[in-house]
């Protein structure tokens, strides 16, 4: 049982936006270049984050994406749910009830019991991830309790400049 690759990308995007000067939206071109994935697909991904109100999009010239909230207020769970939808691991189709159908038991009883067990397990998982914020990730990774802010648009320009220069030599 794996989450999708999209989720990994979404987390990257969120941490990236978290270290971005809030006044300057990051263009999707910059995100694409960083993540090195399919540009059009990443746009779709971005849309999911926008719809779930985790990032805002600014269209037009100098447009792009910005975090809605402080990284301290964005949990990993929110990102997961934006990308994957609600988490419910048990693929319930009621199949279990056919096992019990000959034992005098209320219909759906097996289904209910099973669904509850998995819901409980899922709740443990989601509750924990709800406590983990994007800021926590940055703190732990950078080893300090502050988030440094930079402008990815410029950072990326350098990179692409380099890549434009190198091949010509």
Partner DNA sequence: GGGGCAATACTCGGATATTAATTGTCCGAGTTCTGCAGG
Partner DNA sequence: CCTGCAGAACTCGGACAATTAATATCCGAGTATTGCCCC
SS3 for 147? coil
Task: Answer for the pair 77, 130: CB distance below 8 angstroms, yes or no.
Answer: yes
Q: Is 151 in the site for DNA (CB under 7 A)?
A: no
Which of 40, 56, 70, 88 lies at the binding interface for a copy of itself (CB under 8 A)?
Answer: 88
> What is the Cα–Cα distance from 58 to 26, expressed in whole angstroms?
9
Q: How far is the CB of 112 from DNA (least distance, A)?
A: 22
And the tokens for 63? 């447009």
> What is the Cα–Cα distance from 51 to 103, expressed in whole angstroms?
47
Residue 59 contact among a copy of itself, DNA, none, beta carbon within 5 to 8 Å by kind:
DNA
Q: Is 128 in the site for a copy of itself (CB under 8 A)?
A: yes
Q: Sign (positive/negative) of CA torsion 123, 127, 129, 134? A: positive
The residues that touch a copy of itself, with contacts defined as CB under 8 A, are 1-5, 7-9, 11-12, 15-16, 19, 34-36, 76, 80, 84, 87-93, 95-96, 98-100, 102-103, 105, 109-110, 113-114, 117-118, 120-122, 124-125, 128-129, 132, 137, 140-143, 148, 155
């Amino acid at each position: 049982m794996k989450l999708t690759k999209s989720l990994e990308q979404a987390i990257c995007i969120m941490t990236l936006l978290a270290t971005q000067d809030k006044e300057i939206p990051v263009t999707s071109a910059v995100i694409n270049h960083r993540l090195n994935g399919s540009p059009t697909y990443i746009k779709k991904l971005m849309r999911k984050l926008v719809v779930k109100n985790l990032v805002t999009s600014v269209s037009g010239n100098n447009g792009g994406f910005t975090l809605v909230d402080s990284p301290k207020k964005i949990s990993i769970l929110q990102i997961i749910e934006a990308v994957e939808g609600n988490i419910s691991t048990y693929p319930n189709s009621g199949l279990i009830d056919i096992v019990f159908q000959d034992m005098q038991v209320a219909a759906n009883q097996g289904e209910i019991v099973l669904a509850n067990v998995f819901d409980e397990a899922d709740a443990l998982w989601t509750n924990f991830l709800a406590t983990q914020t994007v800021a926590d990730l940055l703190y732990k990774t950078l080893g300090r309790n502050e988030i440094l802010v930079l402008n990815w648009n410029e950072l990326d320009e350098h990179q692409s400049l380099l890549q434009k220069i190198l091949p010509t030599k």
